[in-house]
Amino acid sequence: MANPWTGEVALTIDGERHVLKLTLGALAELEDSLGADTLVALVERFEGGAFSSRDVLALIVAGLRGGGWRGRAADLVSAEIAGGPVEAARAAGQLLARAFAVPGEGEGR
């Protein structure tokens, strides 16, 4: 089960439930995949609803890697995500929110 208090988010890919988490290493990998872009810019895009599918994919891959997955972004090209792109975007947004939330603040998102 995903623990929101530790920043975890659950996502079902190809019928298998995965726990995603943005660890420090996963965040560093995410920054690298974004190139010149920053995590602050990424958060701003999600807050403003102006994120791209590239943003969602980068976050999902980073979260999967933080959860112990050893795959690559290319492995997800033909993967079936339960709930489709909308669920993937929701999970990506939750990953960002939980990675930077202070425990005990808000509703536990």
pTM of the model: 0.85
- Asked if residue 44 is part of any domain, the answer here is yes
User: Which residue segment(s) compose the domain that 18 sits in?
Assistant: 4-99
CA 6 from centroid of its chain's CA atoms = 14
User: What pLDDT, on the 0 to 100 scale, is given for residue 61?
Assistant: 95
User: What pLDDT, on the 0 to 100 scale, is given for residue 32?
Assistant: 84
- Asked if residue 104 is part of any domain, the answer here is no
DSSP state of 8: -
How does pLDDT run across 44-66, given as a tens digit for each residue? 888 888 888 989 999 999 999 99
User: How many domains does the structure of the chain reveal?
Assistant: 1
- Asked if residue 11 is part of any domain, the answer here is yes
**Given a cut of 70, is residue 15 above it in pLDDT?**
yes
Nearest-angstrom CA–CA distance, 81 and 14? 6
